Amino acid sequence: MLEPDFIEAVRTAVGPDGCTQAADALEEYGTDASKQHGPAELVVRPSTTDEVAAIARLCHQHRVPLTVRGGGTGYTGGAVPALGGVVLTMERFTRILEIDEVNLLAVVEPNVVTGDLQRAVEAIGLFYPPDPASLDRCALGGNIAECAGGPRAFKYGTTKRYVLGLEAVLPTGEVVRTGGKTVKNVVGYDLTQTLVGSEGTLAIITKAILRLIPLPPHRETIQATFAEVDGAVRAVIELVKARVVPAALELVDGASLEAVARYLDDRTLAPEGTGALLLLEVDGLSETVREEAVRVEASCRQAGATTVRHATDAAARDELWRVRRELSPSLKTIAGLKLNHDVVVPKARVPDLFACVARLREELALTIACFGHVGDGNIHVNIMVDPNDSAAVDRARDGEQRLFEEVVRLEGAISGEHGIGLEKRSFMHLALSAEELALMRRLKTAFDPHGILNPGKMFPDAEPATTSD
Ligand SMILES: Cc1cc2nc3c(=O)[nH]c(=O)nc-3n(C[C@H](O)[C@H](O)[C@H](O)COP(=O)(O)OP(=O)(O)OC[C@H]3O[C@@H](n4cnc5c(N)ncnc54)[C@H](O)[C@@H]3O)c2cc1C
């Protein structure tokens, strides 16, 4: 329960229209795409860095939990106010402050929608590659806090490769500026990259300097089908051996294809006998694109592709990508509860990962649909289960534990892009040693001595007070 003098001080800092306790707002800002809910007590909408700093100072002084929110599309409950208190939404920080064509960078406020920055820079021949599938809803601050990735990460890397500098407010209220406008900077510890992927637990990002690159002028999409997942994975290995680095390299397995075909009532999307589909994109100068497309097709054919289709113009490419775009809503038709895990293994271990998934399907009688960024070894393993069938839910929970254990054995990571948040806290001890966790705790304390910023997250012994749908 927040003290009246605290609420009054927040109101004074941000003005009466900068905060609310309306029931519908508390409900809306108490959840995110993970469908977990936390008891939000006050929603605050600051407009300036000074206001953010004032709120942080007040929360620090009064020991009030403070949870930062970007677009609210996180899949692990990162923006859910697990211990109640203040939800600080960055929704008024939506300006692209600068696009610098000479130094190849953009300066942005954190709640610029990712797709909006991409369109703005592409209009002048520049490129901001990180492309999470949520790019028309998520915000750059959330992408930085989660180190978001997407299909293009194989060639272009994830968000961290593009963050040059940050302005951030510490949970104690000080404003810090890390990195800057240069590509090289080795002055002291790299605080910029410490904040990237810190899941809103170390500081509140209020501005970012992002690296841009020239927009590749040509693009070609290739879609190949295979009778088995193994064939598709072999094609990826062949490609790597052929030294081709596609801009995107996505795999969709048979169970996921079947869901899309049923959802869209279009059997052509999952023709009889299709066990997997690869979507690849090559980009660059036209001669390079042509040459690489030929090599991609050869690798797919060598691995036993049953069909290979090419598309060069935007509409035809869009049509080939349709399957991938429709995956999220389609999976919902399989079962009401989706345990969505974005595990990642070294590329060469992807066949072992799929073997593990096949064992879990068989031994635990689970429906599991897989798709994802196979070029990075980052596969979304979706365990689909009826939430009203408690025995099935128990088997699914057993399945996720076994999945994570196997991923760690395969020298992989339990999350490649969605982060830990609330959802994977209890598995952190599988991924990190006691010494590593203790070091991370000391880092957290250095930034946030009272533990007010995004409490209940990431660490296995955090105590959230949440419910889920
Ligand atoms: C349909 C769908 C598809 C998705 N596809 C992908 C994908 O392909 N790749 C991928 O990586 N993710 C994907 N995601 C997950 C999600 O979109 C990403 O994690 C995204 O980066 C979250 O951004 P957001 O602005 O919505 O952040 P939020 O959900 O609002 O917050 C996420 C975390 O960031 C913190 N945060 C937000 N803003 C700030 C800030 N200014 N300062 C400090 N901390 C902050 C929050 O406290 C929270 O811990 C998908 C989600 C959906 C719903």
Ligand 1 centroid–CA 32 distance in Å is 9
Instruction: Please check whether residue 170 is in contact with residue 203, taking contact to mean a CB–CB distance below 8 angstroms.
Output: yes
Beta-carbon-side half-sphere exposure of residue 233 (alpha carbons within 13 Å)? 23
- What is the model's pLDDT at position 328? 85
The encoded tokens of residue 90 equal: 């960055």
Q: What is the CATH number of domain 4-91?
A: 3.30.43.10
Which of helix, strand or coil describes residue 65?
coil
Number of neighbouring beta carbons within 10 Å of residue 256: 27
DSSP string, 7-58: HHHHHHHH-GGGEE--HHHHHHTTB-TT-EE----EEE---SHHHHHHHHHH
Instruction: Please check whether residue 456 is in contact with residue 422, taking contact to mean a CB–CB distance below 8 angstroms.
Output: yes
The encoded tokens of residue 124 equal: 């002048």
**CA-proximal residue: ligand 1, atom 11 (nearest):** 148
- Rounded to an integer, what is the distance from CA 399 to the centroid of its chain? 22
- Is the pTM value of this prediction over 0.85? yes
The predicted-structure confidence for 413-427, as pLDDT tens digits, reads as follows: 999 999 999 999 999
CA distance 211 to 307: 38
Alpha-helix residue ranges (DSSP H) falling in 200-349: 229-241, 254-264, 286-302, 314-325, 327-331
CA distance 397 to 379: 18
- What is the model's pLDDT at position 465? 53
Instruction: Please check whether residue 255 is in contact with residue 368, taking contact to mean a CB–CB distance below 8 angstroms.
Output: yes
Ligand 1 centroid–CA 67 distance in Å is 13
Q: What share of the chain is helix, strand, coil (3-state, %, to 5)?
A: 40, 25, 40
φ and ψ at 379, to 5 degrees?
-110, 130
- What is the model's pLDDT at position 172? 98
The predicted-structure confidence for 13-40, as pLDDT tens digits, reads as follows: 999 999 999 999 999 999 999 999 999 9
CA distance 176 to 167: 6
CA distance 298 to 307: 12
Give pLDDT tens digits along the chain (469 positions). 899 999 999 999 999 999 999 999 999 999 999 999 999 999 999 999 999 999 999 999 999 999 999 999 999 999 999 999 999 999 999 999 999 999 999 999 999 999 999 999 999 999 999 999 999 999 999 999 999 999 999 999 999 999 999 999 999 999 999 999 999 999 999 999 999 999 999 999 999 999 999 999 999 999 999 999 999 999 999 999 989 999 999 999 999 999 999 999 988 877 888 999 999 999 999 999 999 999 999 999 999 999 999 999 999 999 999 998 889 889 988 898 999 999 999 999 999 999 999 999 999 999 999 999 999 999 999 999 999 999 999 999 999 999 999 999 999 999 999 999 999 999 999 999 999 999 999 999 999 999 999 999 999 876 555 555 6
CA-nearest of 248, 460, 236 to 345 is: 236
Which atom of ligand 1 sits closest to the CA of residue 145?
34
Q: What is the CATH number of domain 334-423?
A: 3.30.70.2740
4-91 matches 334-423 in fold: no
Which atom of ligand 1 sits closest to the CA of residue 68?
47
Beta-carbon-side half-sphere exposure of residue 334 (alpha carbons within 13 Å)? 24
Ligand 1 centroid–CA 69 distance in Å is 9
The encoded tokens of residue 213 equal: 């690159």
Which mutation among 35, 134, 425 tests ligand 1's pocket best, with the greatest number of atoms within 8 A of CB?
134
Q: Pocket around ligand 1: residues whose beta carbon is below 6 Å from it? A: 32-33, 67-75, 78-79, 90, 110, 132-134, 138-139, 141-143, 145-146, 148-150, 199-200, 204-205, 328, 417-418, 454
Ligand 1 centroid–CA 199 distance in Å is 9
Q: What is the CATH number of domain 218-325?
A: 3.30.70.2190
Ordered by start, the domain boundaries in the chain are 4-91, 96-214, 218-325, 334-423
Alpha-helix residue ranges (DSSP H) falling in 123-183: 140-146, 153-156
Ligand 1 centroid–CA 467 distance in Å is 20
Please compute Rg for the chain using Cα positions.
23
Q: Among all chains, which residue has been given the structure tokens 């052509």?
A: 268
- What is the model's pLDDT at position 270? 79
CA distance 380 to 372: 5
Give the number of residues written for the chain: 469
Fold of the domain built from segment(s) 96-214: 3.30.465
Measured CA distances, 110 to 70, 115, 140, 153 (Å): 8, 13, 5, 21
